[in-house]
């Protein structure tokens, strides 16, 4: 298995870079999309991503059960793009909205179960896996506890995935900077 993590800010070009890496692999490509169209603005963003993708890329939606979907889709001779881990994390942390005292993600059963499953599954997957995630730790400290929880868990998730990846790239202004691997 080859695993690559592509990090960047909003509109940095990270998804485009992931798609180019997948295209250049010469393998059949499946995109695992984690976004949910909760409102019209998000629906428009999803449509934009769909239109930007090459038509031969197969898309599967997995807003929550990412490890399970990766196990079903990953195969030797196939490239999987997960776009993106940050939206997946957001979907999982939505359970924190109902927990007034969610100061730690470890108190969130869905999040803990799915995060642990993903981290355990990644090293076992066949094929090529390209994971896209936002780098959210470069800005201001969020005002609200849920925002701080999100920022902290995104940073922890990115670190854990980077540790399990052979290659890590940071994209800014459409330009890739290799942080790990060749």
Residue 35 annotated as binding site: yes
Residue 25 annotated as binding site: no
Is residue 58 among the annotated active site residues?
Answer: no
- What does the alpha-carbon distance between residue 53 and residue 32 come to, in Å, rounded to a whole number? 12
- Sequence-separated (6 or more) residues with CB below 8 Å from residue 135: 7, 8, 9, 158, 170
Residue 37 annotated as binding site: no
Contact 154, 86 (CB under 8 A): yes
Residue 83 annotated as binding site: yes
Cα distances (Å, whole numbers) of residue 92 to 6, 59, 156, 178: 20, 21, 14, 29
Active-site residue, from 17, 23, 49, 58: 49
Residue 71 annotated as binding site: no
Residue 14 annotated as binding site: yes
Query: Which residues line the annotated binding site?
Result: 8-15, 33-35, 61, 83
Catalytic residues: 49
Binding-site residues for GTP: 8-15, 33-35, 61, 83
């Amino acid at each position: 298995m080859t695993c690559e993590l592509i990090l960047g800010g909003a509109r940095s070009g990270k998804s485009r870079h992931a798609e180019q890496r997948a295209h250049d692999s010469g393998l059949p490509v499946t995109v695992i999309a984690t976004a949910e169209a909760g409102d019209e603005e998000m629906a428009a963003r999803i449509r934009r991503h769909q239109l930007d993708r090459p038509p031969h890329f197969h898309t599967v939606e997995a807003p929550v059960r990412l490890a399970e979907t990766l196990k079903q889709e990953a195969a030797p001779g196939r490239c999987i793009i997960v776009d993106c881990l940050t939206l997946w994390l957001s979907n999982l942390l939505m359970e924190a909205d109902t927990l007034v005292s969610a100061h730690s993600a470890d108190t969130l059963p869905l999040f803990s179960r799915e995060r642990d499953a993903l981290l355990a599954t990644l090293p076992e997957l066949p094929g090529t896996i390209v994971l896209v995630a936002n780098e959210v730790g470069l800005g201001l400290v969020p005002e609200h506890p849920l925002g701080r929880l999100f920022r902290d868990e995104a940073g922890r998730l990115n670190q854990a995935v980077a540790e399990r990846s052979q290659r890590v790239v940071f994209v800014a202004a459409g330009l890739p900077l290799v942080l790990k691997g060749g």
